[in-house]
Amino acid sequence: MQIMNRIIGITVLAVFLAVPALAGEISLSVAASLRESVTELSDLFQKRTPGVSFKKNFGASGALAKQIESGAPVDLFFAANNEWVEYLIQKRLADEKSAGVFAYNQLVVAGKPGLKVASMQDLVKLNRIAIGSPKSVPAGEYAMTAFKKSGIDKQIEKKLVLAKDVRECLLYADRGEVDASFVYKTDALLLSKHAKILYVVPENLHDRVTYPMVLTVAGSKKPEAVAFIKFLASAEAKAVLTKHGFEVH
Amino acid sequence: MQFAPADIQAILLSAKVGVVATLVALPLGFLAAWLLAFGRFRGKLLLELLFNLPLTLPPVVVGYLLLLLLGSQGLLGRALDTLGITIIFTWKAAVIASVVVGFPLLVRSIRLAMEGIDLQLVQAARSLGAGPLDIILTVILPLSRRGIMAGSSLFFARSLGEFGATIIIAGNMPGVTQTLPLAIYDYASSPRGEGTALLLCVVSVVLSLAVLMLHETILQHKKGG
Amino acid sequence: MELKLQLCKQQGRFQLALELAISGDRIGIFGPSGSGKSTLVSCLAGLNRPDSGRILLDGKPVFDSTARINLAPEKRRIALVFQQHGLFPHLNVRKNLLYGYQRCPVAERRIELAEVAEVLEITDLMGQMPETLSGGQSQRVALGRAILASPRLLLMDEPLSALDDDLRYRIIPYLKLVSERFRIPFVFISHSLLEMRLMAEQVAVLEKGTLTAVMTPEELARQRMGISPSGYINLLELGAPQERQRLLAFPWAGGELLLSGGATAEPGMFELSSKDIILCKRHPDAISARNLLPCTVRNLFETGNKIGVELDCKGGTLVAEIVPDAARELAVTVGSTIWAAIKASAFRRL
């Protein structure tokens, strides 16, 4: 029996090792709102480090965590809240020791210019508000917490349009399909003339928007991935983040 | 594992949208089938292509085109806006999405039934004094009844499963436009939602099977009767 | 009824060009398939539009291309009876019958359901659905439905062609009865000469899209005798028979005819082809034919490459056909006496 298991184990390992992985390819799963900043940083690292290339996947943190759980070959995971990183650590898919904070952000309400939103209560007067689906998008969870804490959650219920990630929220606001949407300050900087930041959500109404980054168990075995995550904690990287509008402390 | 109130709402909303969409599509579908089965006019081919288009287009494309038309920047959207009517991101948009996507199925079924009607019956009716509207009501409608029922059940089943166009013009609004497929999608994106997603899938399958069984029974009845 | 029409219609390769003026209550339109009968019918009914021309019924136009008149079929009051009965499958017999009746303005309704049902003997079928009816029953119901619309004209397009032979000639009496009793003129279209003779008073003959003649059915039959493979069909009304030495003796005209014992012993209409009558100058001493009739020649006519001989046999009329050589040999002339020999097996019940 033991011998059988061993033979099977070795065969499986051999198969996996035999799966062609481009030498020096780092696979990233990144929360949607980090798209531009991570792209810039990975480009930077790639130029400096010969033989290294990146495969990037952007989306909602919950959806990405689910993909990793289902076996997606990812080396680094960037989430928009702690929940999903802790989830993977619990499932023993992520290396706890490598976890660190990548950046911080602020939750804002963006929408049709001319709308007056001076407080959370003012949101109740609007028709439609887009948030990321709380089941898989941290921005949506932050928004829901803010609604609950300001006591408007029941009133706002029927006005909510769920989006699959923060970028889709952005799109809704931009196209004017909703009156306002909950996005991050950094996303709002990308907005075209159709939508404007109407209100910055007070930070006491939700947990601080934190972007943890972590190596997966597979990633922790790749020297390139380890080197990249170290680079991301450097002062140079932090400067890039600040440039994009993120907070680094 | 049980249903949250939002889940029950999703199931009921799917049923409501399905029923309303079927009621809206029936007269339109009957008219379209009648034009294609009995009409002789220039541009009939074009009309035929138009009615069949949603069948081959990806539903998201249909949704996007509808959004361009009915959205706040769209041709009709702006006009409706001035009248104070908003369609998109309401359950009415979900109905429209279902109607457009399922239309070809309905028309096809009714048209087939109409084309099976012996032309001599229509001629006899005319010689006996029946005008065009009279003939539609007393000859064509009764004789295409089975095609209408079969088409309606197929249409309803399609409506229950409508996702692509719905999510684009009606959006994912729990309790308002989140139909069953949208709810399943929401749950399926989340690692913690698998259990409920699966449960809702079962509900979806059961509903579809029930409607399809009805559809088959109607067709079998036609052959046997 | 006075039917006057002139019309041109092009359908694919076929061209119909007709000019017709005919009066009567029992009009026939005769021609082989492809002669344009169906096109004419659909133009008359308003289901098809002639390219040009006029159609007048009793002087009133239902179609006139120059005056831009084209009455819709539902306004023409011309009821149709087809080859396939055309009954509405989703309505029962009663509802089928009343379809045209209900759409006829109350003031113009001349005919009621009970009477029609009685005449056509369909009273017992009222609650049944069309699919349960036999061919003959369906046609009678179709006829009833057409009559009950109180039409000004009944247009019958090969109504008997789909029926079996024996059924066909049993329906004809209904057609005639209905037309007489309810005083509705009809136009009867057929490719069967026999049907024409039994139904129509006047026949318009069509060939390849044009009108070739207007005549009585009798004249038409005699004219066609020479070219028809079955010759001229003598139609004989025979009385109740008696058995005589394994044959049946049917009374006819002033005398009787002997038919083979296989025939049903009932009176009725019988067919006898002109080809089956042999003429003899003198009474033959011994001959196998059981019928030997002394006749007077009433008329002679040429038809095709034959000679038609119209005979008076004790009041009854028979038409025989012989080749011109035989006519000369026997010196057949009008007024001369001659013997007609007919086998007992030559007769057929209609």
Q: Same domain for C20 and C139? A: yes
pLDDT at position B121 is: 95
Final residue belonging to a domain, choices C220, C247, C279: C220
Final residue belonging to a domain, choices C194, C220, C246: C220
Inside any domain, residue C39: yes
Domains of chain C: total: 2
Q: How far from chain centre, in Å, is Cα C59?
A: 26
Of C46, C79, C89, the CB nearest to B128: C79
Domains observed in chain B: 5-224 (1.10.3720.10)
Q: What are phi and psi of A162, to 5 degrees?
A: -90, 135
Contact flag B191-A62 (C-beta cutoff 8 Å): yes
Inside any domain, residue A19: no
Q: Same domain for C91 and C30? A: yes
Per-residue pLDDT tens digits for A99-140: 999 999 999 999 988 899 999 999 999 999 999 999 999 999
C-alpha separations of A55 from A25, A70, A241, B65, B202 in Å: 7, 18, 20, 33, 36
Q: Which residues contact C232 (CB under 8 A, 6 or more apart)?
A: C221, C222, C224, C225, C273, C274, C308, C319, C321
Q: Same domain for A152 and A171? A: yes
pLDDT at position A133 is: 93
pLDDT at position B225 is: 42
Which of C43, C74, C81 to probe the B interface (max B CBs under 10 A)? C74
Model confidence at A27: pLDDT above 80: yes
Q: Same domain for A83 and A51? A: yes
Look up the domain containing C242 and give its range.
Answer: 233-349
Query: Tokens at residue C77, please?
Result: 């009051």
Q: Contact, A206 vs A142, CB < 8 A?
A: yes
C136 touches B at CB < 8 Å: no
Inside any domain, residue C158: yes
Residues paired with residue C70 on neighbouring β-strands, in sequence order: C63
Per-residue pLDDT tens digits for C154-211: 999 999 988 887 788 888 888 888 888 888 999 999 988 999 999 999 999 998 889 9
* pTM of the complete model: 0.79
Q: Which residues of B touch C99 (CB under 8 A)?
A: 125, 128, 130, 138
Q: What is the rounded distance in angstroms from the CA atom of residue A84 to the CA atom of residue A136?
A: 9
Contact flag A158-B173 (C-beta cutoff 8 Å): yes
Q: Same domain for A114 and A192? A: yes
Question: What does the pLDDT average to over C25-37?
Answer: 89
Q: Same domain for C205 and C242? A: no
pLDDT at position A19 is: 53
Final residue belonging to a domain, choices C220, C248, C265: C220
Q: Which residue has the higher pLDDT, C270 or A18?
A: C270
What ipTM did this prediction achieve?
0.82
Per-residue pLDDT tens digits for B148-182: 999 999 999 999 999 999 998 998 998 889 999 99
Residues paired with residue C190 on neighbouring β-strands, in sequence order: C30
Which CATH number goes with the domain that contains A177? Answer: 3.40.190.10
Contact flag B89-A63 (C-beta cutoff 8 Å): no
Per-residue pLDDT tens digits for A70-107: 899 999 999 999 999 999 999 999 999 999 999 999 99
Helix (H) or strand (E) holding C170: helix C165-181
Question: What does the pLDDT average to over C73-82?
Answer: 92
Q: Same domain for C151 and C77? A: yes
Instruction: Give the total residue count for chain C.
Output: 350
Look up the domain containing A226 and give its range.
Answer: 26-104+209-244
Q: Which residues of B touch C149 (CB under 8 A)?
A: 127-129
Q: Which residues of B touch C72 (CB under 8 A)?
A: 126, 131
Average pLDDT, chain C: 90
Contact flag C88-B125 (C-beta cutoff 8 Å): yes
Q: What is the rounded distance in angstroms from the CA atom of residue C81 to the CA atom of residue C199?
A: 15
pLDDT at position A22 is: 54
Helices (H) and strands (E) in chain C, counts: 9, 22
Instruction: Give the total residue count for chain B.
Output: 225
Question: What does the pLDDT average to over C62-85?
Answer: 91
Q: Same domain for A156 and A116? A: yes
Q: DSSP state, C229? A: T
Helices assigned H by DSSP within chain B: 5-38, 44-56, 59-70, 75-82, 91-115, 119-127, 132-135, 141-143, 145-160, 164-169, 180-188, 194-224
Q: What is the rounded distance in angstroms from the CA atom of residue C138 to the CA atom of residue C93?
A: 9
Which CATH number goes with the domain that contains C323? Answer: 2.40.50.100
Q: DSSP state, C144? A: H
Q: What is the rounded distance in angstroms from the CA atom of residue B225 to the CA atom of residue B153?
A: 19
Model confidence at C49: pLDDT above 50: yes
Which of B9, B78, B87, B89 to probe the A interface (max A CBs under 10 A)? B89
Domains of chain A: total: 2
Per-residue pLDDT tens digits for C264-274: 888 888 999 99
Question: What does the pLDDT average to over C129-142?
Answer: 92
Q: DSSP state, A126? A: S
Model confidence at B1: pLDDT above 60: no
Of A127, A130, A176, the CB nearest to B73: A176
Per-residue pLDDT tens digits for A222-247: 999 999 999 999 999 999 999 999 99
Inside any domain, residue C270: yes
